[in-house]
Amino acid sequence: MKLTILFGGASFEHEISIVSAITLKEKLSGFDLNFIFCDQDHVFYLVDPSKMKAVTFSKGEHKKMPQLSLSNGAFVQKGMFSSTAYNATVLNLIHGGDGEDGTIAALLDFFSISYIGPRVDASVFSYDKRYTKWLCDAKDIKSVEYEIVSSDECKVLSLEYPLIIKPSCLGSSIGVSIVKEESQLDYALDTAFEYDSSAIVEPFIEGVKEYNLAGFMADGEMHFSIVEEPQKNEFLDFEKKYMDFSRSEQVLKAEISEELETKLKSNFEKIYRNLFEGALIRCDFFVVEGEVLLNEINPIPGSMANYLFEDFKSSIEALANALPHAKKTKVSYDYIHSISSAKGK
């Protein structure tokens, strides 16, 4: 199967995207893979698979590789007398800004390039944690209690300590703080506001049961991964998550009841249907007193959550063969012709 891995981007999660791409090179061995790197200046480079190493990008060696542009249906390498088109299905592996905020999705849609990943509307509702909360309200999905704070306002919080504070539009636990008492609040908010102008404040639930579930839709049916109970300390911090992005060994299935597994899958499907078609996503849930609460939606999970699937290659192939296709608008100019005819022109 032919597949183009698109990675990099101009975001705080740029390096994590590189780690994910390197991991998928191993996990998708046997596929006919192209690797396209988007640098922080939004220049696209065709990366030699043999050079898919972290130091290639940290040392700037990618700049010696062919630059690509976009054309209808493909990335294109232009030569003096000819050009080469790379029109395989793209797997959007750009984490954070650019990849998960809808920018790349809009670009690929605009150039009619087939891709695995969240579409623009799905990106909007999953990238910004405020919108995720509103999505939960609209779809009758329970989530953790929250308040929204902004860098340009003073707000008295009504939630009780301890709290967890997260930038609204960032993943990988960057800028996240646990606040155990009021004296720590200002510093935690300043940390979050370094990355975003708004933040989500939630109660920090100590010892909460957390479960991760990934999945996608193909041919009208949901395909689920195993359910994982992640191992963590107080919470999954950046270092722990960074290491998780390079995971390639399948994890053990969580020992949970069939009833709980059904609840998790039901909530996942509610989130996914009529919004995330074309994407493989991972949802992180809390379970509090038997009640399932959505914690986060990961529209482009680290290394595509390969470690949760028993047959990751087959999953990617099934998804690639069942991607949604936007209906193309046909422009006829009938209206202009009728006006011109009426005016005798």
Domain spanning 147-203: CATH superfamily = ATP-grasp fold, A domain (3.30.1490.20)
Hey, how many other C-beta atoms are within 10 angstroms of the C-beta on 134? Answer: 12
Domain boundaries, the chain: 2-118, 124-141+206-320, 147-203
124-148: pLDDT as tens digits: 999 999 999 999 999 999 999 999 9
Assign 254 to helix, strand or coil. Answer: coil
In DSSP notation, 173-219 reads TTT-EEE-SGGGHHHHHHHHHTT-SEEEEEE--TT-EEEEEEEEEET
Element (H, E) at 335: helix 334-342
Q: What is the pTM of this model?
A: 0.90
Residue 205 CA to residue 235 CA, distance in Å, equals 10
Are residues 153 and 194 in contact, defined by beta-carbon separation less than 8 angstroms?
A: no
Its CATH class, for the domain covering 2-118, is alpha beta
Which fold is adopted by the domain 124-141+206-320? D-amino Acid Aminotransferase; Chain A, domain 1 (3.30.470)
219-243: pLDDT as tens digits: 999 999 999 998 765 555 545 554 5
71-88: pLDDT as tens digits: 999 999 998 888 999 999
Write out the two tokens for 142.
Answer: 């329970």
Assign 64 to helix, strand or coil. Answer: helix
β-strand partners of 221: 218
Hey, how many other C-beta atoms are within 10 angstroms of the C-beta on 83? Answer: 13
Phi, psi angles (nearest 5°) of residue 317: -65, -45
Phi, psi angles (nearest 5°) of residue 21: -65, -40
The stretch 169-174 carries a mean pLDDT of 72
The stretch 274-301 carries a mean pLDDT of 96
Burial class (CB in 10 A: 0-12, 13-18, 19+), 267: buried
Confidence band, pLDDT 50/70/90 cuts, at residue 338: confident
